[in-house]
Structure 1
C-alpha cells in the first residue's frame, strides 16, 4: 500500500511524500501528515555499527517510501559529506551524569543544517529536476533539462537559524530561488551577517519590521493567496514552497539524530537495547521536539520529551494548562531562535495525539486564528502530558546556566541550549525522574547551535569583559576558553553585506513576486 499525506485539517487531498514536499503547505493552511506513521517500526538493534548515513537511509526510507533507494543514497551522500566538521555528524558528549547531542557541526553551525542540507536534495527529486550538486551525474542532468518547466521559489521566515541554513542549502540550485525574511533587530549580529552576506545568484534576503510571528504569519498568508499563486504560475511559471519545518521534508530528516543519539548511548554501554531515554529539547516552533515524537512512533524507546522554552514560554503554558494563547507580551531574548509565540508544528502533534481528529484540529486552529487562543479537551491534555514535559528559563537563568556548565563541566554552550540545561537541572532538583518515572532514565540534551553564534551572550555569562564587536568577542572567547571559533563564523567579518532591504509586513507579497520574477 502506498503512503499518502494529507492536511492536518482534513483529507480532501491525498499526496505522495514527493508531492507533499514540493507543495510545502496544504491548500487549507494545514500541515502534511500521514496516517501510516507508526505502522512500520525501525529495529534499533539492526542499526548498531552503522554510520550516520546508513541510519539516515533506514529512517528516511521508512518515512518517505516513494523515494527509491538510489534517490535516497544520492541525497544522503550529498547532504552529509565533507561540509560537516565531525564524521559522526551529530556527536554525543557526556555532560556530568547526562549527555548532550551536538547538532551544530554543519556549514552554518546550527541544528537546522541537519534538515536543510537534505531538503534541497529531496526537493530536487520531486519532479522539477534540480541537481543537488556539481557532481550530479550526466543522467541526472539530462533529467533536469527535460523536467525544468516549472521553477520553485522557496519562501521562508526565520527567527535566526533557519534562514541561513536554507540559504546555504538552496544557493545556486538551478530552477530554484529562495527568499528569506527575518525580523529586524531580533536576531544576533552573527545570525544577521550569515544571511546578509550569503552567496548565490538565486537568493533574496530581507528584514521586516516586526517579530518572527508577524513574518511567519505573513508567509502563510502568501502561501494561501490564490491570486499570488495564479500570477506566479501564469507569468514566471513559479510555484512557491517552504523550507520551514512546516514542510514535511524539512521535519523528517531530524528524526534521524534521535536514533543516532540512542545508538551512541548503546555504543558507550550507557544503555542496553530497549532501555528508555529522555530527551530535553530547546524549541520554539515545536519541530525539533516533534521529530522525537516521530522517532518514538517508529519504535525508538523514548520515555519522555521535555520542551525547554525561554521567556516566551507559550509552550510551557500550553503544556501545563491546555490553553494556547498567543495574545501575550513578546520578549526579545538572548535566545532569538526561540522567540516565537505561534508554534506551527504543534498542529501536527495535536493531530496525532487526538488520533487523527482533523475536525478538532481545524476547529482549534480556527480559534487560534480568529480569537488568538484555543483550549484542548482535558482528556487530550492528559494524554499529551504523559509524554511531553516542559520548563523554561528567564534571562538570568540562561546566563547562569552557561556560567555553571562552563564552571562545572568545562563545556561551552549557546543560550538556546542553556535553556535546556537549566530545565534539566530543575528536573534534578525536583527529583522528577525518580518520583514520576521510577528508576532514573538516561537523559540527552539537544544542543542546537554553536556558542560562537552568540559570542557576546556566552562571553558575558562566563565573566568576560567583551569588546564592542561580535567578532572581537569571538576572539576573546576563544582565548579565554582555549576553544576555537568555527571558520565559517569568524570569517563573516571579512565578507561584504549584499542584502540591506528593510520592509513592512504588508510589503512582503510584492517582495516575493519581484524575487520570483528574477528566476530565469
Structure 2
C-alpha cells in the first residue's frame, strides 16, 4: 500500500513516510492509493484491539505484524479507556427512533480525539525510525479545543518529539483551556493566539510550508510533523470505531450482518465523518452520511449547493470544537469524488486560499449530495436537544453530540428514513458543564468544577475521573501571541 497526495497524484510514499511527514511538500494531503476490502464476519468476534489490528494492517504494509500489535495494545489498554471497549454503543431506540449513540469519549481526555491520539504517538515514533534518520519530530497542532489536550496527553514525554499546541484565546471552553494549560510533560508547550481556530490552523499550515523554518529545523536535527487530522496516522485509527460500532450492533441483535446503517457526525474539520466514508469504501454498509454543523454552517451550505465560501461571519458557539470555517479534510473527499484529478482539486484549494471560495463541478456536487446530508443547529436549538434527550431518553449529551442528535431529527422529519443510525458522540458533557446546565434551567455557580458537581447531581451521572483530577492542578502555560508571530514562537520554543 502506497499513498499519493491530493495535489500531486503522481507522488507515491509509504505509510511511514506519510505519517512522519504529515502533509505533502506542495501542501496536499496523503490518501491511500486504494481501499482494501474487509470481510465483516471475520471481525465480528474480535475485541476492539483485534479489530484495530485487522484494519490497520491493511494500510500499514511497511509495518510488521508485531509493530501494529504493539501500537494497538498500548493505545487501547484498560489503563487508557475506562470501559470494556474504548468505543461503547448506547442504544436509544425505545421511542421508535432507531438511533444508537457511539460514545467516543471514555479515554484520558474525555473526547473522541483520544481514539486516534492515543495510538498516533506509537505510529509516529515507529514511522520516524523507518524514515527520518533519528531526527526529532516537532509536532505542531492547531486546536479548537479537544485535539490539543488529546495530542498533549498522547505525546507527553514521548522520546524524539516536541509538541506545540496553538488554540484560539477565546474559542475554547474554560474546561478545555484548563486541560491544556495544566498539561504535564517536558516536551510539550501550549500557546493561545489572538484570533479564531482558522487563524491558528492557517498559521500552522504556513509554518509547515515555510522553507526557511524547515531548513533551520533540519540544521538542528529536527523536522516538522502534525498531529492534526490532516495526518494519515490520525485519520486511519478513526475508521476502526465505525466498523466496531456496526459489529457491536450486530452482536447485540439490533441489526443483521449486511444491513445498511446511517451515520451522523458532528464535525467542523470533516475528519471524523471522512473516516466513516473510508469505512464505506472498505465495505461497511453505510447508506447516508449525515453531516451535523453548528451555527458555523459552511459544510451544510456546501453539501446543499456545491459552493464553499468562507467569506462569512464566524461565530463563537457552545460547541466550540466545531467553530471552523476551513474544513481541511474535505479536500480528501473531493479528491476521491472528482475522479482523483489533482489538477482540478488544486485549483479549488488555490481559489479558497486566494479568494476565499470555490465551486465544484456539477458531477462532484451531485456525488457529494448522493452520499451526504447536511444540517445545522444554533445554540438555542442545541440546548433544547440536550433538554429533550435527557427528558425523553434519560441520556445526557454534550453540546456537540446534541448538534448531531438535532440534525438527525431534521433528517428524519425531512426524509422519513428510519434506517438504523449510529450517532457519533464526540465529548463528555462534563467538558462543557456551563452550557449543558442551561438545559436544566437552574442557577449556575461561577466555578467550573462546582458546575460539574451540580450537573452530576441533577443528571445522576458521574464526573469522569480525568475531569475531576484537574481540580487543583497548577497552570503551567500562559503564553499568548498574534497569529503572525506563530513561527517565531516555534523558533523560540524549540531553540533554533
8 Å Cα contact 1:161/1:337 also seen in 2: yes
- Residue aligned with 1:493, SS: coil
- 5 Å-filtered alignment, 1:128-139, equals 128=129
Structure 2 Cα separation of the partners of residues 327 and 321 of structure 1: 15
User: RMSD value over aligned CA atoms?
Assistant: 1.3
Match of 2:85 in 1: 88
CA-CA distance at 1:488 after TM superposition: 1.0
Match of 2:242 in 1: 258
CA-CA distance at 1:487 after TM superposition: 1.6
- 5 Å-filtered alignment, 1:85-484, equals 85-96=82-93, 97=97, 98-128=99-129, 149-234=134-219, 236-433=220-417, 440-484=418-462
Match of 1:139 in 2: none
Deviates more, 1:263-272 or 1:336-345: 263-272
8 Å Cα contact 1:319/1:381 also seen in 2: yes
- Residue aligned with 1:230, SS: helix
Q: Deviations over 1:335-363 (max 9, x none)?
A: 00000000000000001111211111001
Q: Does 1:70 align with 2:66?
A: yes
CA-CA distance at 1:12 after TM superposition: 4.5
CA-CA distance at 1:6 after TM superposition: 1.8
8 Å Cα contact 1:148/1:175 also seen in 2: no
Structure 2 Cα separation of the partners of residues 462 and 263 of structure 1: 35
CA-CA distance at 1:482 after TM superposition: 1.4
Picking from 12, 18, 21, the partner of 1:14 is 12
Unpaired runs of at least 5, structure 1: 131-146, 434-439
CA-CA distance at 1:148 after TM superposition: 6.7
CA-CA distance at 1:493 after TM superposition: 2.1
- Residue aligned with 2:308, SS: strand
- Residue aligned with 1:430, SS: helix
Structure 1 Cα separation of the partners of residues 29 and 130 of structure 2: 24
Match of 1:54 in 2: 50
8 Å Cα contact 1:75/1:122 also seen in 2: yes
TM-score by length of 2: 0.97
Q: Deviations over 1:139-176 (max 9, x none)?
A: xxxxxxxx873111110100000000000000001111
Picking from 21, 27, 30, the partner of 1:29 is 27
CA-CA distance at 1:466 after TM superposition: 1.3
Structure 1 Cα separation of the partners of residues 9 and 408 of structure 2: 39
Q: Deviations over 1:457-478 (max 9, x none)?
A: 1112122321011111000011
Structure 2 Cα separation of the partners of residues 64 and 293 of structure 1: 19
Structure 2 Cα separation of the partners of residues 55 and 73 of structure 1: 11
Match of 1:144 in 2: none
8 Å Cα contact 2:382/2:406 also seen in 1: yes
Structure 1 Cα separation of the partners of residues 260 and 59 of structure 2: 22
8 Å Cα contact 1:406/1:462 also seen in 2: no
Cα distance 1:103–1:289, how it changes in 2: closer, same or farther (>3 A)?
same
CA-CA distance at 1:34 after TM superposition: 1.9
- Residue aligned with 1:385, SS: helix
Structure 1 Cα separation of the partners of residues 446 and 145 of structure 2: 21
Match of 1:135 in 2: none
Structure 1 Cα separation of the partners of residues 347 and 262 of structure 2: 32
Structure 1 Cα separation of the partners of residues 421 and 10 of structure 2: 41
Match of 1:512 in 2: 490
8 Å Cα contact 1:157/1:180 also seen in 2: yes
Structure 2 Cα separation of the partners of residues 340 and 383 of structure 1: 23
Q: Deviations over 1:41-86 (max 9, x none)?
A: 0001111111000000111111222211000000001000111001
8 Å Cα contact 1:238/1:516 also seen in 2: no
8 Å Cα contact 1:128/1:151 also seen in 2: no
- Residue aligned with 1:180, SS: strand
8 Å Cα contact 2:200/2:483 also seen in 1: yes
- Residue aligned with 1:127, SS: helix
